[in-house]
Amino acid sequence: MKITEIKIDRLSIPLKHLYKLSNEYGELMTTTPIVVSIFTDSGIVGHGECDPWPAFTGCSSESTYVVLQKHIVPALIGADPCNVNEIHRLMDSVIRNQQIAKSAIDMAVYDIWGKATNQPVHQILGGKLRSEMKVMWSIGGSSPDESAKEVLEAKERGYYGCMIKIGTDFKLDAARTIAVREAVGPDFPLIADANQGWDVDTAIRYAKAVKYCNLLFFEQPVQSWDIDGMARIKRAIDIPVSADESVSNIHEAVQLIEAKAADVFSIKVTKNGGIMPAKAICQYAEANGILLFFNSMIEEGITQAASLAVSATCSNIVTTIGHAYFSPQRLDGDICSYHKQIKRGFVEVSDAPGLGIELDQDAVKRYLVESTVVVK
């Protein structure tokens, strides 16, 4: 089987509501995914997605589109899509780094591999350990009363826990966290994510201020490069520490473990460069006693399906709270069938071939900004 052409669609999709994050990231009202469709001489088509976010990933939708169009995609025409190692070698041979762009290609070739062999991607990765995953919700910055109301609504809708976005004003964020805990009671799972918004001292002050809120873990309190700061926080507080922006590749995973700087790794398939590199991080984490939390990038259903294929095969996942498989529900609409797998508080692991999703071409057209096709 050979790749004959690749279509790249750059989209812009509004969120249903304003999403206020840390001081580092500000506010979001739109997400800008790129969808890649890889066509083969056998007639099989695979779909992938990447989710550029300049403040988080260091690349924009526009720049990622150009990287795919001018560098990565031309190098793949004629290649065997089922040889994922060779696909990654070809991508690395024409441009280094660019994990976000490469993640879309990676997802699409895994989708083809599964369809060609009539098996779901999770089977290719070793087989699923569960048929469904718990799903949580996430709230952005607001007042204490508004935060408490939103999390209480999430609880009533059946979500299995909630992530509270913090990393702005320390006192306000502590008040929000306490208000949420008082509203939902002692047993509803809660985590807090500062998205690099604070320094070490502020993060420790926050953790001590909310020590009775029973947070399951505290995600990315400081800048991604500050591994020493993560380790200092981990030693100083009683709440487990999760690394998100600090663990984008296997090399950073090694650094974090050697520094004893994290208890949990936040996995995002598009951030980690695709299914293959994300699975490598997961396996290394498991070998070193690190738990896995599957997070999202304000992404569409293709990336969510790819993430689900990985998480279904991992034994060391966090089980005390749901994972971030709600992302399309935050958006104006899903561009594929993934959202149908989400039931009250859970998402079903598909056993359909490939990623188990169908692309909604009408939805792609509705959100389309620009498109290109590269052929042999």
Residues carrying an active site annotation: 165, 193, 219, 244, 268
Segment holding 212, helix H or strand E: none
Pairwise CA distance, residues 26 & 24, whole Å? 6
Segment holding 276, helix H or strand E: helix 275-287
DSSP string, 131-164: SEEEB-EEE-S--HHHHHHHHHHHHHTT-S-EEE
- Whether 179 contacts 210, CB under 8 Å: no
Of the chain, the end-to-end C-alpha distance in Å amounts to 14
Pairwise CA distance, residues 41 & 22, whole Å? 47
Pairwise CA distance, residues 51 & 61, whole Å? 8
DSSP string, 221-267: -S-TT-HHHHHHHHHH-SS-EEESTT-SSHHHHHHHHHTT--SEEEE
DSSP string, 69-137: IIIIHHHHTTS-TT-HHHHHHHHHHH-S--HHHHHHHHHHHHHHHHHHHTSBHHHHTT--S-SEEEB-E
Pairwise CA distance, residues 291 & 263, whole Å? 7
Residues 6+ apart with CB under 8 A from 318: 216, 217, 264, 291, 292, 293
68-97 exposure pattern, b = at least 16 Cβ within 10 A, e = fewer:
bbeebbebbeebbbbebeebbeebeeeeee
HSE at residue 311, side-chain half, CA atoms within 13 A, is 33
- Whether 318 contacts 216, CB under 8 Å: yes
- Whether 195 contacts 218, CB under 8 Å: no
